[in-house]
Amino acid sequence: MHNRRKIRSGVKVLHRHRIGSYEFRRVSELVYIGGRPKAILGWIDVGGMRTPVYQVDLDPKRLRKAAATPHTFYYEGVTVDPRYQDLDPVTDRAPPPQGA
């Protein structure tokens, strides 16, 4: 596998991240979209252009700059991966007929 660090932007955020019941520390790219901080969780290549696929909103009040490392931030909250959030239960029942 190639070294992914070479293609990351210069700004990163260290945060606690939850997938289901599993929680761990993660490093993600930090970007600002519309003035709001976001952690980018996944990227795809669309026609040769690197495009974010999964992103998590960050509370700017919980974001702080790392003192010893340039271009690094710490997030004092827990992010949740949107790909693994619980969905509504699936039922085998057909939807009710329209107009009934």
Q: For 25-81, write each residue's pLDDT tens digit.
A: 999 999 998 999 999 998 888 888 888 888 999 999 999 999 988 899 999 999 998
Q: Is the dihedral of CA 19, 22, 23, 28 positive or negative?
A: negative
- The answer to whether the pTM exceeds 0.75 is no
On the question of pLDDT at 8 being above 50, the answer is: yes
For 39-66, give one letter per residue: b (16+ CB within 10 A) or e.
Answer: bbbeeeeeeeeeeeeebbebeeeebeee
